[in-house]
Amino acid sequence: MNAKELAQKLNGSQYPFEVGSVIRAEAKAAGLVIVYGASDDLMEFDGAIRDELGAYEGTTAHLDSTGLLENGCDNDECPHFEKLKAKAATIEAVWDDGTYSWTYQTAIPHETFEVLEGDEKYCRGIVFALADVVAA
C-alpha cells in the first residue's frame, strides 16, 4: 500500500475519526503515517508513528526519519533540542482556515483525505511515507 491508496481508503471518513486496527497495521507495515485533527486541540499521528500533540489554535510538529522529535531536556528552550528542530522536517497544523477545522501544511510529499462531520468538511488530513521525511 502507498500513501495515495491509503488516503483514498480514509477519504470521506466521519468525525469523530479514529483509525481502525486493520488500517493501523497496514499503514505501519507500509511505513505510512496518518495525520489528522481531533477535537479543537489535538494533532493525531497513526500508523508508522503513533502519538499526539497538543495543538490548540495550531502547532508545528518536528520530525526526522525515525518519527517525532522529543525534547529530552528539562528545559523547553534546550539549545540541543533547538538545533535538532532547526534541521527537522515540519508539519504545521492549521486551525480553522475557513473551510476545515484542521488542515496541515508540509514540504513532506503527501496525499490528502477528508474527514466529514455529517455533510460538513471537518479535517483535511494527510498521509505520508516516513521514509520520505528528510531533515535539513
Q: Give whole-number Cα distances, 130 to 13, 26, 41, 79, 99, in Å.
A: 23, 14, 24, 26, 28
Which residue, among 136, 97, 128, has the nearest Cα to 27 in the 3D structure? 128
pLDDT per residue, tens digit, the chain (136 aa), is 999 999 999 999 999 999 999 999 999 999 999 999 999 999 999 999 999 999 999 999 999 999 999 988 888 888 989 999 999 999 999 999 999 999 999 999 999 999 999 999 999 999 999 999 997 6
**What's the rounded Cα separation, in Å, for the pair 98 and 70?**
31
Please give the angle made by the CA atoms of 83, 85 and 91, to the nearest 5 degrees: 165
pTM of the model as a whole = 0.96
**What's the rounded Cα separation, in Å, for the pair 18 and 58?**
20
Domains in the chain: boundaries:
3-131
pLDDT of residue 133: 97
Q: Using N-to-C axis directions, what is the helix angle for 21-30 and 3-10, rounded to 10°?
A: 170
